[in-house]
Amino acid sequence: MKSNELILILDFGGQYNQLIARRVRECNVYSEVVPFNITLEKIKEKNPKGIIFTGGPASVYGENSPKCADGIFELGIPVLGICYGMQLMSHTLGGKVTSASTREYGETNVNIDNSSPLFQGFGDKNIFLMSHTDYVESVPDGFKRIGYTSVCPNAAMANDEKKLFGIQFHPEVNNSVNGTQVIKNFLYNICNCSGDWKMSSFVEESIKNLKEKIGDKKALCALSGGVDSSVAAVLLSKAIGKNLTCIFVDHGLLRKNEGDEVEKIFTQNYDLNFIRVNAKDRFLEKLAGITDPEKKRKIIGEEFIRVFEEEAKKIGTVDFLVQGTIYPDVIESGLGKSAVIKSHHNVGGLPDYVDFKEIVEPLRNLFKDEVRKTGLELGIPENLVYRQPFPGPGLAIRIIGDITNEKLDILKDADSIFREEIANAGLHKNINQYFAVLTNLKSVGVMGDERTYDYTVALRAVETTDFMTGVWSKIPYEILEKVSSRIVNEVKHVNRVVYDITSKPPATIEWE
Which residue ranges make up the site for ligand XMP (CB under 6 A)?
Answer: 297, 341-342, 344-346, 389, 391-393, 433, 467, 504, 508-510
Residue 83 annotated among the catalytic residues of the structure: yes
Comparing CA positions, the residue from 113, 102, 94, 121 lying closest to residue 167 is 113
CA distance 433 to 55: 30
The single residue of 68, 83, 221, 246 carrying the catalytic annotation is: 83
Among residues 291 and 508, whose Cβ is nearest to ligand XMP?
508
Among residues 49 and 297, whose Cβ is nearest to ligand XMP?
297
Enumerate long-range contacts of 495-498, CB under 8 Å, 24 or more apart.
495/443, 495/444, 495/445, 495/447, 495/452, 495/453, 495/454, 495/455, 495/456, 496/443, 496/445, 496/454, 496/455, 496/456, 496/457, 497/456, 497/457, 497/458, 497/459, 498/439, 498/456, 498/457, 498/458, 498/459
Among residues 35 and 401, whose Cβ is nearest to ligand XMP?
401
Strand (E) or helix (H) holding 212? helix 199-214
Among residues 95 and 392, whose Cβ is nearest to ligand XMP?
392
Check: CB of residue 361 under 8 Å from CB of residue 325. Answer: yes
Check: CB of residue 403 under 8 Å from CB of residue 396. Answer: yes
Check: CB of residue 230 under 8 Å from CB of residue 223. Answer: yes
| Sequence-ordered list of residues with C-beta below 8 angstroms from that of 321, at least 6 positions apart, any chain | 219, 220, 221, 350, 354, 356, 358, 359, 360
Among residues 442 and 504, whose Cβ is nearest to ligand XMP?
504
Among residues 297 and 372, whose Cβ is nearest to ligand XMP?
297
Comparing CA positions, the residue from 55, 50, 7 lying closest to residue 32 is 7
The single residue of 91, 132, 170, 251 carrying the catalytic annotation is: 170
State the distance between the two ends of the chain, measured CA to CA, in whole angstroms: 40
Q: How far is the CB of 342 from ligand XMP (least distance, A)?
A: 5
Comparing CA positions, the residue from 25, 19, 94, 16 lying closest to residue 55 is 16
Q: Are strands 79-82 and 244-250 parallel, antiparallel or unpaired?
A: unpaired
Residue 258 annotated among the catalytic residues of the structure: no
DSSP result, 399-447: B-SS--HHHHHHHHHHHHHHHHHHHHTT-TTT-SEEEEEEEEEEEEEEE
Residue 172 annotated among the catalytic residues of the structure: yes
Query: Roughly what angle, to the nearest 10 degrees, separates helices 293-315 and 280-287?
Result: 150
CA distance 303 to 176: 47
The single residue of 5, 104, 172, 311 carrying the catalytic annotation is: 172
Comparing CA positions, the residue from 393, 316, 385, 329 lying closest to residue 361 is 329
Check: CB of residue 464 under 8 Å from CB of residue 389. Answer: no
Query: Roughly what angle, to the nearest 10 degrees, separates helices 199-214 and 368-377?
Result: 80
Q: How far is the CB of 255 from ligand XMP (least distance, A)?
A: 12
- The 8-class DSSP code of residue 13 comes to S
- The 8-class DSSP code of residue 170 comes to B
CA distance 453 to 441: 10
CA distance 456 to 497: 6
Q: How far is the CB of 437 from ligand XMP (least distance, A)?
A: 11
Residue 330: how many CB atoms within 10 A of its CB? 17
Among residues 56 and 391, whose Cβ is nearest to ligand XMP?
391
CA distance 54 to 12: 6
Give catalytic residue positions: 83, 170, 172
